[in-house]
């Protein structure tokens, strides 16, 4: 694709740039070759329009000899020959035009005048051609840097997507192993309950598998995922888990990254409730206001619990995902106060177009 | 092995259903008697101290004390089979001479094999552990990870001493006395193994028999001819050996 000829706006701009050149040429013809002012203009203007189009061809020889990958002799010969040929063709056209005009009664002297102007025209032709060669190299460099920029941008987007993919929360395998162990216990003591738990677990797994591909889901869907997670955990921990929920009706449709809130609840159970002999309370509070979605997960915990080796990995993952996706638009706050552990996050409540 | 005497077993797991699986597997073994079921680390230490069972089925992640801390406190008297959903502790479990390591969900065949190993251990065919468990626990800890709490047992009572609240430790024969908040707790462990388990940037061996919490040291005073004492912020005076003094100086001068 020709960078000027194929863009109407650029073509217009390019032809406009030839106006001063035409004016200069007319002045020089008048001043140096003794051509009358009227005849100079009559010759210079159409000749410049024609030459403007001839010079468009310089692009192809520029493209064939990229500036940074061509030896100097080849470079000089290519464009020198190009300039001579283009200028030669131009002179022929000019002579023919002058001859044709001299046949009319309006410009009887024009053919002789033209003959005097040939050296000037030839010099101007070479100069104009080389100028356009220069223009194309500049254009090509601009294009190349713009392409590089676009590639870098694309690479950045790809890297971020890969990061988000890697950070995507996954089902904790120990949750699975413990649940299977519970099912194994129930098969003999309470087969109906064992079956129920199989179904709850299957339901939870199916939901999480489906969500992996999506970049955002309505909050309602994430909540229902949390509910199926809790249903399984309640079979294991029994009355030790007390769940309280306080969710704004208006927040239900807000899009959230999938599996962003479930790890918070899982963390509250694994690192909080599971360490308490009598169990405890998990409080989930979600509000949508001022364009932000605020989520608070608060749970009882034992400050003197034995240290768990993988403690905090789930929370760190959530924090990184928030940072990767929302930058400083999201906040993440963890606080332990007495026997209460609270995680507060807030994210923009609008769908993030860039993350899709 | 002795046919008359039953194997007395304790099951420790915070999940009722997990205990139920083990109970069910054991129900077909008339030679094993379950003497207690415990739902957390404190209960487990109490039950084992009181009943001295032959065999303990021990979960690792539990409220109050984890399985390794329980093992450290109950001593080498009982054979231990760990039962957990986490495979990452297996190496550590064998380093503390556990009989076996069962992964949840527990299969019947695997369970039988573990029980068989336990019987061999109890019958004397497999070597008993030779080191006190505290030494083993120290050996099994990754070198980069230092203790941030020390569980101690007094009879059936368990206390947890956060290392931040430990003033100093004093060697007393096979025990160390841990001084914390005005009380002294005895623990069966050598002072050298305790030293390696504590963070060397916070705790320093100032004497053959003493490790001190550097934050507690108020000043060091000369004591007689080329000897020194460390005076703690609560007024306690601890002897400082010659090498201990050089070590202490490099810390205090920093």
Say what percent of chain B tops pLDDT 90: 58
- A303 contacts in chain B (CB < 8 Å): none
State how far the Cα of B121 lies from the Cα of A189, in Å rounded to an integer. 32
**Residue B140 confidence class, pLDDT cut points 50, 70, 90:** low
Q: Are residues B101 and B170 in the same domain?
A: no
B1 in a domain, yes or no? no
Q: Are residues B191 and B105 in the same domain?
A: no
Q: Are residues B85 and B22 in the same domain?
A: yes
Q: Are residues B121 and B68 in the same domain?
A: yes
Single out the residue in B108, B138, B168 at which a domain terminates: B138
- B72 contacts in chain A (CB < 8 Å): none
Q: Are residues B162 and B239 in the same domain?
A: yes
**pLDDT tens string B62-92:** 898 989 999 988 888 899 999 999 888 888 8
- B149 contacts in chain A (CB < 8 Å): 304, 306-307
Q: Are residues B162 and B133 in the same domain?
A: no
For residue B127, report the phi and psi dihedrals to the nearest 5 degrees: -65, 140
B247 in a domain, yes or no? yes
For the domain that residue B204 is a member of, what is the CATH number? Answer: 2.40.50.1020
For the domain that residue B49 is a member of, what is the CATH number? Answer: 3.40.50.2300
* CA end-to-end span of chain A: 32
- B64 contacts in chain A (CB < 8 Å): 275, 277, 302, 304-306
Single out the residue in B105, B138, B171 at which a domain terminates: B138
pLDDT tops 70 at residue A311: no
Calculate the average pLDDT of chain A.
87
Interface of A with B (CB under 8 A): 174, 177-178, 180-186, 188-189, 235-238, 274-277, 302, 304-309
pLDDT of residue B231: 93
pLDDT tops 80 at residue A60: yes
**pLDDT tens string A281-305:** 999 999 998 889 999 999 999 888 8
**pLDDT tens string A3-14:** 888 888 988 999
Tell me what the mean pLDDT of segment B1-7 comes to. 68
Q: Are residues B175 and B64 in the same domain?
A: no
Q: Are residues B22 and B87 in the same domain?
A: yes
Tell me what the mean pLDDT of segment A302-311 comes to. 71
State how far the Cα of A175 lies from the Cα of A113, in Å rounded to an integer. 97
B2 in a domain, yes or no? no
- A188 contacts in chain B (CB < 8 Å): 24
The whole domain housing B121 covers 7-138
Give B64-67 contacts, CB < 8 A, sequence gap 24+: B64/A275, B64/A277, B64/A302, B64/A304, B64/A305, B64/A306, B64/B40, B64/B158, B65/A306, B65/B40, B65/B41, B65/B151, B65/B158, B65/B160, B66/A306, B66/A308, B66/B41, B67/B12, B67/B41
B104 in a domain, yes or no? yes
Q: Which of B24, B66, B85 sits opposite A178 (nearest CB)?
A: B85
pLDDT of residue B239: 93
**Residue B44 confidence class, pLDDT cut points 50, 70, 90:** very high
State how far the Cα of A291 lies from the Cα of B102, in Å rounded to an integer. 50
- A181 contacts in chain B (CB < 8 Å): 15, 17-18, 21, 85, 104-106
Lowest mean pLDDT among A127-136, A313-322, B23-32: A313-322
3-class SS at A141? helix
pLDDT tops 90 at residue A174: no
**Residue A313 confidence class, pLDDT cut points 50, 70, 90:** low
pLDDT of residue B183: 92
- A178 contacts in chain B (CB < 8 Å): 15, 18, 85, 104
Cβ of A185 and B63 within 8 Å?
Answer: no
Q: Which of A182, A275, A305 sits opposite B17 (nearest CB)?
A: A182
Q: Are residues B128 and B157 in the same domain?
A: no
For residue A190, report the phi and psi dihedrals to the nearest 5 degrees: -150, 75
Tell me what the mean pLDDT of segment A223-248 comes to. 92
pLDDT of residue A196: 93
pLDDT of residue B25: 95
Q: Are residues B127 and B16 in the same domain?
A: yes
Calculate the average pLDDT of chain B.
88
Q: Are residues B116 and B167 in the same domain?
A: no
pLDDT of residue B223: 87
Cβ of A236 and B17 within 8 Å?
Answer: yes
pLDDT tops 60 at residue A351: no
**pLDDT tens string B192-231:** 989 988 999 999 999 999 999 999 999 999 988 878 999 9
pLDDT of residue A110: 83
Tell me what the mean pLDDT of segment A39-61 comes to. 89
Contact A307, B149 (CB under 8 A): yes
Contact B32, B53 (CB under 8 A): no
Q: Which of B63, B64, B148 sits opposite A307 (nearest CB)?
A: B148
Cβ of A277 and B63 within 8 Å?
Answer: yes
**Residue A168 confidence class, pLDDT cut points 50, 70, 90:** low
Q: Which residues contact A162 (CB under 8 A, 6 or more apart)?
A: none
Q: Are residues B36 and B63 in the same domain?
A: yes
Q: For B40, which residue in chain A has the nearest alpha carbon?
A: A277
B106 in a domain, yes or no? yes
pLDDT of residue A346: 94
pLDDT of residue B26: 96
Which residues pair with residue B33 across a beta bridge?
Answer: B8
pLDDT tops 70 at residue A308: no
Distance from CA of B72 to the nearest CA of A (A): 13
**Number of domains chain B is built from:** 2
pLDDT of residue A320: 84
**Residue A164 confidence class, pLDDT cut points 50, 70, 90:** low
pLDDT of residue A354: 39
B49 in a domain, yes or no? yes
For A308, which DSSP code? P
Contact B49, B74 (CB under 8 A): yes
pLDDT of residue B125: 61
Single out the residue in B117, B138, B159 at which a domain terminates: B138
Q: For B63, which residue in chain A has the nearest alpha carbon?
A: A275
Distance from CA of A239 to the nearest CA of B (A): 11
B185 in a domain, yes or no? yes
């Amino acid at each position: 694709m020709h960078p000027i000829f194929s863009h109407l706006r650029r073509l217009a701009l390019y032809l406009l740039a030839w106006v001063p050149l035409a004016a200069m040429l007319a002045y020089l013809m008048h001043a140096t070759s003794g051509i009358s002012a009227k005849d100079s203009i009559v010759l210079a203007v159409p000749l410049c329009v024609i030459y403007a189009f001839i010079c468009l061809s310089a692009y192809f020889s520029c493209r064939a000899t990229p500036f940074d990958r061509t030896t100097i002799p080849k470079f000089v010969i290519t464009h020198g020959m190009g300039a001579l040929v283009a200028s030669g063709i131009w002179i022929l056209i000019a002579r023919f035009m002058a001859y044709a005009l001299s046949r009319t009664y309006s410009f009887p002297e024009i053919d002789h005048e033209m003959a005097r102007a040939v050296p000037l025209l030839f010099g101007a032709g070479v100069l104009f051609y080389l100028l356009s060669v220069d223009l194309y190299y500049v254009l090509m460099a601009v294009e190349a840097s713009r392409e590089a920029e676009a590639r870098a941008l694309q690479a950045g987007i790809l890297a971020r997507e890969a990061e988000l993919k890697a950070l995507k929360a996954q089902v904790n395998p120990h949750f699975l192993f413990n649940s299977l162990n519970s099912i194994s216990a129930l098969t003999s003591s309470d087969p109906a309950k064992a079956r129920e738990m199989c179904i709850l677990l299957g339901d939870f797994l199916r939901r999480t598998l489906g969500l992996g591909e999506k970049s955002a889901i309505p909050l309602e869907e994430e909540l229902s995922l949390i509910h199926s997670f809790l249903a399984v955990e309640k079979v294991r921990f029994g009355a030790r888990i007390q769940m309280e929920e306080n969710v704004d009706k208006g927040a239900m449709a807000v899009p959230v990254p999938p599996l962003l809130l479930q790890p918070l609840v899982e963390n509250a159970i694994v690192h909080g409730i599971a360490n308490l002999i009598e169990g405890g309370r998990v409080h989930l509070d979600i509000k949508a206001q001022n364009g932000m979605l605020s989520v608070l997960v608060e749970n009882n915990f034992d400050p003197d619990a034995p240290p768990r080796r993988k403690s905090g990995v789930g929370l760190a993952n959530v924090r990184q995902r928030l940072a990767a996706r929302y930058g400083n638009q999201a906040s993440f706050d963890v606080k332990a106060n007495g026997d209460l552990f609270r995680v507060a996050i807030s994210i923009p409540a609008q769908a993030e177009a860039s993350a899709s | 092995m002795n046919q008359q005497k039953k194997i007395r077993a304790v099951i420790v797991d915070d999940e009722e259903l997990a205990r139920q699986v083990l109970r069910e597997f054991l129900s077909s073994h008339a030679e094993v008697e379950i003497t207690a079921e415990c739902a957390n680390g404190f209960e487990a230490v109490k039950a084992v101290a009181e009943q001295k069972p032959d065999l303990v089925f021990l979960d690792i992640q539990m409220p109050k004390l984890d399985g390794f801390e329980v093992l450290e406190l109950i001593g080498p008297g009982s054979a231990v089979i760990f039962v957990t959903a986490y495979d990452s502790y297996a190496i550590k479990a064998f380093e503390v001479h556990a009989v076996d390591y069962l992964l949840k969900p527990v299969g019947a065949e695997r369970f039988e094999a573990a029980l068989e190993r336990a019987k061999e251990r109890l019958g004397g065919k497999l070597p008993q552990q030779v080191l006190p468990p505290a030494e083993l626990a120290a050996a099994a800890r990754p070198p980069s990870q230092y203790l941030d709490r020390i569980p101690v047992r007094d009879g059936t009572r368990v206390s947890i001493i956060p290392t931040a609240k430990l003033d100093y430790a004093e060697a007393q024969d096979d025990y160390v006395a841990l001084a914390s908040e005005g009380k002294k707790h005895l623990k069966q462990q050598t002072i050298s193994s305790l030293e390696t388990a504590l963070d060397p940037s916070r705790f320093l061996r100032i004497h053959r028999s003493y490790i001190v919490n550097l934050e507690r040291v108020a000043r060091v005073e000369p004591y007689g001819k080329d000897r020194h004492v460390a005076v703690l912020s609560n007024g306690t005076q601890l002897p400082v050996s010659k090498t201990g003094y050089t070590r202490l100086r490099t810390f205090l001068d920093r």
